[in-house]
């Protein structure tokens, strides 16, 4: 559990953050220098250097009723207008001035939201969104996700890492945490043990994780975390920031076998000298609420939990950008309900869980701008209008596609979920989408023109994980028309969806892409 000592450490260097933020807004500190320091406090300056982002870290995306009340209060107090759900199960508040950034950091800490490290080398631990409520699950991974998250917050003060260290844990059914291609991931097996993967990651030079352990007892996961932290600290690249990620380590250490050997030796040492076994009872909490079963409520947004008579509701706004009015209405209602909590999903959705059938209907009504099909659940990072390093406006592209198809009256039910990133860093997870896009620049009549690279054939699904391949380079203004043409082809075909159609029509698909290049 998070001790008072750790809480004190997480806020102890706030004066440093306060000083650098004042200097930055007085133009006494450069964007690059500020970014190098402010990320450790969950904040970055935005494009134009006149505003900043505040990233709120929640353990596996879990927001308690107290967190929901604080979020609603903060939206009203600071007039927060751009609330973004991230693929790392965090909240990002955009367009903030320096004073608001500083106030929110302190107030989040007071309400049990610890953003220290959230934008630096210790991002959120991503966990299956339906843990503890999934009717299919055989083990509730909640205690282990919580233990790992709290352990990492503590270790960041003792182990210096070269750069970001992303972790994930899943319940064996939910592929969205991407456990098989994170810096370290725990994939639950049918035996209620974990297979462990290391040195994976999206972005430039993506890598699938290397299997480093099988059938690990859940209570022992922290040994594997500590060993990986130590290997990264000892063998990671501190000299070249571009290669300061675990996915580059195996090659620099002489290959996968050499890495595994070092990891196993480090693990043995950790097990010999440390006491890191987890008592799940220290982190577990029981859902005692029940309701009357009424499956007439079930639809494309409302689903049944394993708890008797309880349901959860998905809220997926366009590109992860919440409609603040709808979000506030849902939060205001949710905080009046027994045992209700919200969870941020890695696909930029917000789930309200532990609802009776009537409560689920009400939450769904309050968030009726949510996605109606898989295509409308498309994922996008915030893009270049906000992000310093973004090349193109990914979020703007997604909204332009939606607007165009709506205006044309196109049936989008067969289109897949899009994954759009503003640049190659894959914050919009373009590398694992059936159709992905990342921002680029294309020469048209010898003039640099806003464009996106099209990525084909990615998959995040367990057992068929795959990074997509570059298949085209399309000017941004043509992409909505490309999606219209693709939808028309799909709607004329007998196949039920894009994935099935592509299996036997890949040549036709490639010709369509080329026609729009």
Block residue for tokens 């209700």: 340
Q: In the prediction, which pLDDT does 119 show? A: 77
Residues of the chain with pLDDT under 50: none
Residue range 398-457, pLDDT digits in tens: 999 999 999 999 999 999 999 999 999 999 999 999 999 999 999 999 999 999 999 999
**Residue 513 has which token pair?**
């892409």
The whole-number pLDDT of residue 198 equals 98
DSSP codes of every residue in 429-440: -GGGSSEEEEEE
What is the DSSP secondary structure assignment for residue 288, as one 8-state letter?
-
Q: What pLDDT score was predicted for residue 1?
A: 75
How far is 241 from 244, CA to CA, in rounded Å? 5
Q: State the pLDDT at residue 391.
A: 95
* Helix 479-492 × helix 394-408 angle, to 10°: 50
Nearest CA to 341 out of 132, 499, 148 is that of 132
pLDDT in the model for residue 117: 87
In sequence order, the 6+-apart residues with CB closer than 8 A to the CB of 90 are: 55, 56, 57, 58, 61, 118, 123, 124, 344
The torsion angle over the Cα atoms of residues 322, 327, 328 and 331, rounded to 10 degrees, is -140
Distance CA 38, CA 45 (A): 8
301, 376 in Cβ contact below 8 A? no
Same fold: 134-281 with 375-516: yes
Q: Measuring CA to CA, how many Å separate 243 from each of 29, 34, 48, 162?
A: 26, 21, 28, 9
Give the N- to C-terminal CA distance of the chain in Å, as an integer: 54
Q: pTM of this prediction?
A: 0.96
pLDDT value at position 389? 85
Say which CATH architecture domain 375-516 belongs to.
2-Layer Sandwich (3.30)
Region 134-281: CATH code = 3.30.413.10
pLDDT at 273: 97
What residue spans define the domains of the chain? 4-68+82-105, 134-281, 296-366, 375-516
């Amino acid at each position: 559990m998070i001790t008072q000592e750790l809480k004190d450490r997480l806020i102890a260097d706030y004066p440093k953050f306060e000083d650098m933020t004042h200097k930055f807004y007085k133009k006494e500190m450069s964007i690059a220098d500020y970014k190098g320091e402010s990320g450790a406090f969950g904040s970055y300056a935005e494009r134009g250097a006149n505003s900043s982002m505040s990233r709120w870290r929640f353990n596996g995306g879990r927001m308690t009723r107290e967190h929901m009340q604080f979020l609603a209060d903060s939206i009203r107090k600071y007039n927060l207008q751009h609330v973004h759900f991230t693929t790392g199960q965090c909240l990002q508040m955009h367009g903030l001035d320096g004073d608001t950034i500083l106030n929110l950091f302190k107030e989040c800490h007071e309400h049990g939201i610890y953003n220290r490290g959230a934008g630096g080398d210790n991002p959120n631990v991503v966990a299956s969104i339906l843990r503890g409520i999934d009717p299919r699950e055989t083990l509730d991974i909640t205690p282990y996700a919580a233990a790992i998250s709290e352990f990492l917050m503590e270790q960041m003060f003792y182990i210096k890492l070269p750069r970001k260290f992303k972790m994930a844990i899943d319940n064996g059914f939910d592929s969205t945490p991407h456990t098989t291609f994170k810096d370290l991931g725990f994939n639950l097996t049918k035996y209620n043990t974990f297979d462990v993967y290391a040195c994976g990651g999206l972005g430039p030079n993506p890598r699938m994780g290397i299997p480093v352990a099988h059938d690990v007892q859940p209570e022992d996961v922290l040994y594997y975390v500590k060993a990986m932290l130590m290997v990264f600290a000892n063998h990671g690249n501190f000299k070249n920031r571009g290669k300061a990620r675990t996915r580059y380590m195996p090659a620099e250490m002489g290959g996968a076998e050499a890495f595994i050997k070092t990891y196993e030796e480090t693990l043995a040492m950790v097990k010999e000298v440390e006491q890191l076994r987890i008592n799940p009872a220290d982190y577990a909490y029981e859902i005692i609420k029940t309701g009357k079963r009424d499956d007439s409520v079930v639809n494309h947004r409302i689903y049944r939990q394993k708890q008797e008579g309880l349901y959860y509701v998905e809220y997926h706004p366009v590109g992860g950008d919440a409609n603040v009015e709808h979000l506030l209405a849902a939060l205001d209602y949710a905080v009046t309900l027994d045992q209700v909590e919200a969870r941020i999903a890695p696909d930029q959705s917000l789930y309200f869980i532990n609802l009776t059938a009537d409560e689920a209907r009400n939450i769904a009504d309050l968030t009726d701008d949510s996605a109606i099909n898989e295509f409308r659940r498309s994922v996008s990072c915030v893009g270049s209008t906000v992000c310093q390093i973004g090349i193109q406006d990914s979020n703007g592209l997604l909204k332009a596609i939606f607007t165009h198809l709506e205006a044309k009256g196109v049936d989008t039910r067969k289109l897949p979920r899009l994954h759009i990133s503003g640049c190659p860093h894959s914050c919009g997870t373009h590398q694992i989408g059936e159709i992905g896009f990342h921002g680029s620049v294309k020469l048209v009549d010898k003039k640099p023109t806003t464009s996106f690279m099209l990525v084909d054939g990615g998959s995040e699904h367990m057992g068929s994980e795959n990074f997509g391949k570059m298949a085209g380079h399309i000017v941004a203004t043509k992409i909505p028309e490309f999606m219209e043409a693709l939808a028309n082809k799909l709607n004329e075909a007998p196949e039920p969806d894009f994935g099935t159609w592509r299996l036997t029509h890949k040549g036709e698909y490639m010709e369509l892409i080329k026609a729009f290049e």
